[in-house]
Amino acid sequence: MTTGSDNHTRDKQPKAEPVRAIGTETSARTKPSAVPEKPSAPPVTPPSAPEKPSAARTKSSSKLTNAATEVVRRLTDAGFEAFFAGGSVRDMLMGRTPDDIDIATSARPDQVMEIFRKTVAVGAAFGVVVVLHRRFEFQVATFRSDGAYLDGRHPDSVHFSTAREDVERRDFTINGMLYDPTTDRIMDWVGGRDDLAARVVRAIGDPAARIKEDRLRMLRAVRFAARFDFRIEPAAWRAVCEASDQILQVSWERIRDELTKMFVGRRPHVALRLLESSGLLAQVLPEVATLRDVAQSAKHHPEGDVLRHVEIMLEEMDRIAEERGERPPVELAMAVLFHDLGKATCSKFEDGRITTKGHEREGAKMARTITERLRMSKAQTKTIAALAADHMKPMFAPHMRPATLKRLMREDHFPLLLDLFFLDSVGKRGNLDGWRWLKDRYESTPETELHPPRLLTGKDLIDMGYEPGPKFQEVLDRIEEAQLDGNVSNADDARRLVRRILGRPKPR
């Protein structure tokens, strides 16, 4: 890529210079730095390596870019301005693979729909049309300037405008650049490239005004700072801290989307600290915020309080994700956050030590409440609550009866439970012996032992001379239990067990 040809300041056109990928330095793993006290600026953190795209993702991204370029070319051939906009330009300049590409244009929504055969007017009132092209969906938005944001979420009016005015209404400078793929030129009126090089999240214009327009930008600032290993510019940080108590003006659905991106994304442990120090955590996840200073047994948890334990787990989850080149599922990330919530209410000091009896059951209830509040799906809520409820069980696995262990291992959420057990172990003493034992046992247990074939049915019991009744299900369950324990392996064994349970059948 090459930049535009005019001289560049924050208020002028950019000067010409070759585009260079930013943020390609590697970083060593460091200990967490101190959290800033509100409302000072968050700490400057060392540069991070670029995300590692898989070969499949790189190929898909190339197809995405080519398809997006064709959309831009169609618009420019029709006499309109058109550019890649927002995060995709930022990601390309950083040497990262964009997940999607938004397009900004001078064409009005009706003109866009005339040019492209397959479109969806998802937000025509705001100038947004989805263009379906080569199996991709592109949001094509008309250049616009916004009226007043009376509700902290939506402008009360929209005016179609110029490319520069469109940029100046956006949130952060790093997201305020445009790129013309047909001429290979960057348009930067807000100093976005300078802030990429300086590794800074800076608001476009007055940060308090940008946040007042859309409170969600506070969470976005935290997410970008954590994901890219950037610092939040001091004035923007102060604006976030001062407005943090207004974040709930945003819908829970939008808050959920930002939080899931944040904790599934890179450096979630840093995101957690920034949320806490800004005051946002106490607003969106107050149950998690209360874990700070909840003491734990020094013998089992030398790392410190419960929230420190969660931070270490998130950091380890991120390290593994970076090694694998694959981000964790949202259910695991949320289970890390929520699994020990019950300790805030269940911790007691008894006989000279801290106990947390029943915290897993209480934590599961709290996890369900939070996931429902965040409008997560029923399937996600069920899995996250189950992980919280069961997170202590793997520690006792070596002492379980075979049947009990196999029932646990055949649960749908068990693979995630095994991952949670690993992270939980790393997050305290770091002893992985229990995890290794359970992982080996799980991997060496055949599927037929976890789900053995049924040896007898209700009809078989009737054929044996027994009268049908509620006892039948209890008997069949006990047969399966004996199979899982390894005490019954065939139908003859099962019949002998039936006779021991029910006695001999009465003569008919």
In a domain, 399, yes or no: no
In a domain, 279, yes or no: no
In a domain, 103, yes or no: yes
Instruction: Identify the CATH number of the domain in which residue 101 sits.
Output: 3.30.460.10
Pairing of strands 2-3, 185-187: parallel
Encoded tokens for 398: 């070596």
Residue 231 has pLDDT above 90, yes or no: yes
Count Cβ neighbours within 10 Å for each residue of 159-195 and write b for 16 or more, e otherwise: eebebeebbbbbbbbbbbbbbbbeeebbbbbbbbbbb
pLDDT digit string, tens, across residues 284-306 = 999 999 999 776 666 666 666 88
Residue 216 has pLDDT above 50, yes or no: yes
CA 328 to chain CA mean position, Å = 8
Stated length of the chain: 508
Q: Which residue has the higher pLDDT, 51 or 335?
A: 335
Among 136, 131, 71, 143, smallest CA distance to 107 is for 143
**Hey, what's the torsion of the CAs at 458, 464, 468, 473, to 10 degrees?**
-40
Average pLDDT of the residues in 308-332: 95
* 30-44, 194-208, 222-236, 446-460, range with the lowest pLDDT: 30-44
Q: What is the DSSP letter of 18?
A: B
- Average pLDDT for the chain: 86
In a domain, 445, yes or no: no
Residues 6+ apart with CB under 8 A from 481: 403
Quickly list DSSP for 414-427: HHHHHHHHHHHHHT
Among 459, 433, 427, 243, smallest CA distance to 339 is for 427
End of a domain among 198, 230, 260? 198
Residue 397 has pLDDT above 60, yes or no: yes
Q: What are phi and psi of 191, to 5 degrees?
A: 80, 30
End of a domain among 171, 198, 225? 198
Q: How far is CA 64 from CA 6, 98, 104, 137, in A?
A: 30, 9, 16, 9
What phi-psi label fits residue 293: left (phi over 0), alpha (psi between -120 and 50 degrees) or beta? left
Average pLDDT of the residues in 145-165: 71
Give the model's pLDDT for residue 431: 85
pTM of the prediction?
A: 0.82
Average pLDDT of the residues in 106-134: 91
Tell me how many degrees the CA angle 312-423-414 measures, rounded to the nearest 5. Answer: 150
Q: Which residue has the higher pLDDT, 352 or 383?
A: 383
Q: How far is CA 458 from CA 86, 172, 257, 463, 503, in A?
A: 64, 67, 49, 9, 16
* 63-67, 156-160, 407-411, range with the lowest pLDDT: 156-160
How far apart, in whole angstroms, are the C-alpha atoms of residue 507 and residue 224?
A: 77
Q: What are phi and psi of 501, to 5 degrees?
A: -80, -50
Quickly list DSSP for 348-396: EEETTEEE-TTHHHHHHHHHHHHHHHTT--HHHHHHHHHHHHHTTGGGG
End of a domain among 146, 181, 198? 198
Give the model's pLDDT for residue 126: 76
Bridge partner list, 141: 104, 128
Residues 6+ apart with CB under 8 A from 431: 425
* Contact by Cβ (8 Å): 318, 271: no
* Contact by Cβ (8 Å): 83, 180: yes
Give the model's pLDDT for residue 127: 85
Average pLDDT of the residues in 121-140: 89
How far apart, in whole angstroms, are the C-alpha atoms of residue 69 and residue 127?
A: 20
In a domain, 69, yes or no: yes
3-class DSSP state of 70: helix
Tell me how many degrees the CA angle 394-396-401 measures, rounded to the nearest 5. Answer: 105
- Is the Cα dihedral 231, 38, 236, 98 positive or negative? positive
In a domain, 464, yes or no: yes
Q: Which domain holds residue 24?
A: 1-31+48-198
Residue 433 has pLDDT above 70, yes or no: yes
How far apart, in whole angstroms, are the C-alpha atoms of residue 143 and residue 127?
A: 8
How many structural domains compose the chain?
2
Residue 163 has pLDDT above 50, yes or no: yes
Before 302, cis peptide (omega within 30)? Answer: no
How far apart, in whole angstroms, are the C-alpha atoms of residue 120 and residue 497?
A: 64
Q: Which residue has the higher pLDDT, 374 or 352?
A: 374
How far apart, in whole angstroms, are the C-alpha atoms of residue 138 and residue 100?
A: 8
Residue 319 has pLDDT above 50, yes or no: yes
For residue 271, give the amino acid letter: A
pLDDT digit string, tens, across residues 232-286 = 999 999 999 999 999 999 999 999 999 999 999 999 999 999 999 999 999 999 9
pLDDT digit string, tens, across residues 173-213 = 999 999 999 999 999 999 999 999 999 999 999 999 999 99
Pairing of strands 353-355, 348-350: antiparallel
Give the model's pLDDT for residue 49: 46
In a domain, 317, yes or no: no
pLDDT digit string, tens, across residues 45-56 = 333 444 554 544
For residue 242, give the amino acid letter: E
Give the model's pLDDT for residue 41: 40
The residue ranges of DSSP E strands in 227-365, in sequence order, are 231-232, 348-350, 353-355
Q: Which residue has the tokens 């059951």?
A: 361
Give the model's pLDDT for residue 505: 85
Give the model's pLDDT for residue 428: 81
In a domain, 273, yes or no: no
